[in-house]
Structure 1
Amino acid sequence: MSIVPKDNSRQRQTSLNFWNQWPNTPIETIAGSPPSWWSGPDQLKDVEAFNREVHTLVRAYLESHRKEMRKIDLDIATFVCVSAIEAVAHNTVLNHAEMLSEKTVRTLVDETTRMVVGYLR
């Protein structure tokens, strides 16, 4: 069973169809001002490709350290590890910006490492 992010072409096409419903309507009218980082639906392709690459790299790393881990499905382990790390990072950046001091970030990295290593062993 593979949990690696798949190519979401169909989902992307649905998104493009949504935007094409209002070809001459400014985006601000539809949903307010878009975020400054948003460059449009094509940006999703880059994010999806990046996510697939991250999963591929993490799975390869786990495979190379298989002897140090308990018996576990590598696809599931990859999904759990990447998801846990992303959750900590995203939650910190989005909801706890006050925790972004150098010292606290080092502590978060250490604690997240302990969590992931504990899961894998």
Structure 2
Amino acid sequence: MGPGTACASDSRKFGSWSANFMTEWHQRYGGAGIMVYWHVERKNVCIYSQVRSTTDSEVASMIEGLLRHLTSAEIDRQYTDTHGASIVGFAFSHLLDFKLLPRLKNIGSARLYRPGWVR
């Protein structure tokens, strides 16, 4: 695989027939289908993918992919969207020694705090 150190992950809904055993209704995306969660190394190589339930946590899927990919890449930065970022995700990323770098939606209207800062 080479010296890849950064990884991005996200889920995608694929439409499927309602008779498919894995098909579920997805509230956020609307419609029936399956969800696939991808981990992509920065040079656009998929290093891990998983079919997941529409109700599964994206944080859990993100951490699972970082722990179970079968490449020689030593990931030290993980990029994800808003749904892959949570307090639990930041805690586990710190314990597993990688940086969680989310792309936060509506960051301008969010209240952000620096660690250790109490008002």
Q: Which has the higher contact order (CA 8 A, sep 6+)?
A: 1
TM-score, normalised to structure 1, is 0.23
Larger radius of gyration: 1
Between Structure 1 and Structure 2, the one with more helix by share is: 1
Between Structure 1 and Structure 2, the one with more strand by share is: 2
